[in-house]
């Protein structure tokens, strides 16, 4: 008989793998309702407003009762990070490059819409059904490209990291980071002016010259769509080169 691996409690809950007790009263709550309440709080107040007590109050139960459904705030954040993600677009007949562009923009837009996910999701690998569905759809879109499964997962990791980093920059430089706002930095132009002031031309010759020339002035700089597409196309060009190399290696092996 095959040994069954013991799953982390939050994984069991997200996937509906917890044993159901036939005894006692029927549970008043479920994980989906709890996650929805926590997400509503995070959307309105940020993660600072999310606590076991605040979520319990939102769903009208005692805080102690909430622990029957989710074991800790850390578990709650894991569930929130999955539940807040919409279903991924279907690859359909889209060429792989078009789908990966759509997929990456979708990942970025989720983080722009809900910046608290930048902290909740952290950089942990996906464990829940929705985030893993995004991974599955990207791997499906890369079917027939000649990449192996490990390479497909690495592509997903790279594009996810790019979406996360870009969203963090937009949120920080484009507005939303209280530390920058307190310093009077309200956009990329202000950010460039601060750097032009502090950078020593001898230590930072290239960056100092660019900032003093106003590379970020008069535009949103790093945070506009053109810059997002520039970085995305660099990554897609690299993936395309890898696919071409794998095809060339395959022809050489057959020859």
pLDDT band at residue 26, thresholds of 50, 70 and 90?
A: low
Are both 169 and 244 inside the same structural domain? yes
> In whole numbers, what is the pLDDT of the chain averaged over residues?
85
103: domain CATH number is 1.10.357.10
Burial class of residue 166 (count of CB atoms within 10 Å of its CB; 0-12, 13-18, 19+): buried
Q: Which pTM does this prediction carry?
A: 0.84
Among 25, 58, 83, give the residue marking a domain's end: 83
Domains contained in the chain, number = 2
- The per-residue pLDDT for range 140-181, each reduced to its tens digit, is 999 999 999 999 999 999 999 999 999 988 887 655 555 545
On whether residue 69 sits in a domain, the answer given is yes
What residue ranges in the chain does DSSP mark as E strands? none
**CB-count burial class (<10 Å; 0-12, 13-18, 19+) for 132:** middle
83, 113, 128 - which closes a domain:
83
Q: Which two tokens stand for residue 102?
A: 């759509």
Do 114 and 168 belong together in one domain? yes
Mean pLDDT over 192-197 rounds to 84
Question: What is the Cα 164 distance to its own chain's centre?
Answer: 5
- In this predicted structure, what is the pLDDT of residue 100? 98
Pair (124, 15) in one structural domain = no
Q: Which of 50, 83, 116 is the last residue of a domain?
A: 83
The CA distances from residue 79 to 13, 125, 136, in Å, are 9, 13, 19
Would residue 34 count as lying in a domain? yes
Mean pLDDT for 37-55 is 96
Domain of 250 in residue numbering reads as: 96-174+220-254
Whether 207 has a pLDDT exceeding 50, the answer reads: yes
Are both 108 and 76 inside the same structural domain? no
CA separation, residue 219 to residues 105, 150, 189, 223 (Å) = 21, 39, 7, 9
CA distances in angstroms from 92 to 95, 99, 156, 243, listed in the order given: 9, 9, 18, 20
Give yes or no: residues 107 and 224 share one domain: yes
- Run of H or E residues at 139: helix 129-141
Q: Are 61 and 35 in the same domain?
A: yes
Whether residues 31 and 134 share a domain: the answer is: no
1-12 pLDDT per residue, tens: 455 667 888 888
**167 and 245 share one domain:** yes
């Amino acid at each position: 008989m095959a040994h069954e691996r013991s799953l982390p409690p939050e994984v069991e809950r997200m996937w509906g793998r917890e044993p159901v007790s036939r005894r006692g009263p029927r549970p008043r709550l479920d994980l989906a309702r709890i996650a929805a309440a926590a997400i509503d709080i995070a959307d309105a107040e940020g993660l600072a407003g999310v606590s076991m007590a605040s979520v319990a109050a939102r769903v009208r139960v005692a805080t102690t009762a909430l622990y029957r459904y989710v074991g800790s705030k850390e578990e709650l954040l894991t569930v929130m990070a999955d539940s807040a993600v919409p279903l991924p677009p279907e690859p359909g007949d889209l060429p792989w490059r078009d789908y990966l562009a759509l997929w990456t923009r979708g990942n970025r837009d989720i983080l722009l819409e809900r910046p608290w996910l930048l902290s909740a999701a952290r950089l942990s690998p996906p464990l829940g059904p929705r985030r893993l569905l995004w991974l599955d759809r990207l791997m499906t879109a890369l079917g027939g490209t000649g990449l192996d499964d490990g390479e497909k997962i690495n592509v997903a990791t790279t594009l996810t990291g790019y979406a996360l980093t870009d969203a963090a920059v937009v949120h920080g430089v484009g507005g939303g980071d209280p530390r920058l706002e307190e310093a009077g930095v309200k956009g990329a132009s202000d950010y460039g002016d601060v750097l032009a002031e502090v950078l020593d031309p001898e230590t930072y010759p290239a960056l100092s010259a660019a900032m003093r020339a106003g590379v970020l002035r008069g535009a949103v700089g790093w945070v506009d769509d053109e810059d997002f597409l520039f970085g995305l196309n660099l990554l897609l060009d690299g993936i395309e080169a890898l696919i071409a190399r794998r095809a060339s290696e395959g022809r050489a092996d057959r020859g």
